[in-house]
Structure 1
Amino acid sequence: MTVPAFYPIGIPGHPWTDAEKAEWLSRQVRQRSYQADVLDAVEPLREHFDVVEYGCVVYGDERFPLLAIRNRWGDALPTVLVTGGVHGYETSGVHGALHFLTHHAAAYAGRVNLLVAPCVSPWAYERVHRWNANAIDPNRSFREGSPAQESAALMRLVAPLRDRVLVHIDLHETTDTDESEFRPALSARDGKPFEPGEIPDGFYLVGDTENPQPEFQQAIIAAVAKVTHIAPADGNGEIIGSPVVAPGVINYPLAQLGLCASITNARYTTTTEVYPDSPRATPAQCNMAQSAAVCAAIDHALGQQAAVK
């Protein structure tokens, strides 16, 4: 059943024009600091890692340097890409990446080349929003000629490494505001009816329909289950409208949808989804779950490489 959803901007059934997008932008309020939460947190990492400024997001008079963190690379080592904050409001994606860098990344020195972009969308991070300032979802914009500055900058960074990446894990959240704000806003922006969904209670993964790697996904689920609970399937055997193919795992056609996890030719790719609004999870647990997922992803891939040698 399709239920009309009231959204305070636009006319139902009519896609937004520039006027509606400008009205939407005028309502966005800065709620936290990228400088304090991300840039300042990266500073202590410079002692042990290389910090690369790979671009700059500019909206009006606001400028946000985009940072990536690398360990000391070896030519023969496999490369692991970790991305967070593609959706700026998904807090543990950012802080989970930073948690991994602070607590676990050193253990992979001499084993993998790490490249971590902890906050791909800093403007949205500060506004606690899914979209960028142009009302564009960066995680549907990872394709040639991307309209999103954030997506285009990350793709430029990764382009020379596309064939060297063994693992890409993209850190996300599914929150209650997906259903209360962001999906209604999407329907209003595109002039489409809003169809209510169900928010899953727990952690899950989104693999690639074209390259599902089920053992890889299950290794991550097993590791994260020690930190926080795994989302069950709903009454239709689905999570957010997609069939559950294994406990806590669904698949999307990543490249077709322009999703971040499609930007390399990595053998192992996944998107994490933590549920921070659960009464059974704390912010610290969510960060640790993201970090545990990264470690499990790397460990599984290295184990598989060793097994075939």
Structure 2
Amino acid sequence: MSKVRTEDIIKSFDLELISGEEGVHKPITTTDISRPALELAGFFNYYPAERVQLLGRTEIDFSGRLLKSERKERMELLCNDITPAIVISRGLEIPKELIESSERNSVPLLRTSMKTTRFSSKLTNYLESELAPTTAVHGVLIDIYGIGVLLTGQSGVGKSETALALIKRGHQLVADDCVEISEIEENMLVGSPPPLLKQLLEIRGLGIINVMTLFGAGAVRSSKKITLSVHLELWDEQKHYDRVGLDEDKVKIINTEIPKLTIPVRPGRNLAVIIEVAAMNFRLKNMGVNAAKQFTERLAEVIQNGSDQDTIT
């Protein structure tokens, strides 16, 4: 898991650093955010100290009603050694005891002018994106009619050439050669290119081309949700390939499984058209139209009718 540090959220959200500057290098390891209401009331039994602590108008107003000794004690407990940051929203005035405790325990005390709920939402989205489990896959990611198709296969099988043909047909390149994949939430994979390879496509014998320069801004995109994997492999005469489409293979990437198609490659096959149709067929299946299932049902009906006629005669 990639790490985010307190200094990163300070820069990303332009937060005001009030005190505890020595702790700005602390790592943030969870996407959860805590609003320590019960803790300010004195209940620290289950205090999630590893989370970013967010204090809004309610928490600050309540702390102002505490006795000075109570406020000092609870602010000291809030500033735990592992607490990455305490953020005050709405630009509110900060209790002196909290400033002193944060400085003493090197817990960064930050302030934002944003409303509490809005800041909480923005910070959660940011942390979920930055802390999402990630991996890298050798392949090509293409957006075909809104379907994120991940092309995989051994080097030289024709992934990039197929991608080029798909781009010529009006589809969009996301990444070539290396696809960085993040699981931003349960059962959702998002692929993007490494910064060095962004908008680039490598064609053997031709070299590296810039897709956006050649085909325009509409031919590329920066990221895409991955919903279908297509594996290209050299045709094996000894291997049985699905000819009906009832078999549904899956491939697991990080913790998410997505449908996988295996397409054999040999001279004369138009892979771009096949993959384009595979994406359209995948969309139809998601809409409840399954041609393979309809065919088997018709076949079973024909067999049953034939059997009934034989019985009669």
Of Structure 1 and Structure 2, which has the larger fraction of its residues in strand?
A: 2
After TM superposition, the score normalised by the length of structure 1 is: 0.28
Higher RCO structure, 1 or 2 (CA under 8 Å, sep 6+): 1
When normalised by structure 2's length, the TM-score is 0.28
Could you say which structure has the larger radius of gyration? 2
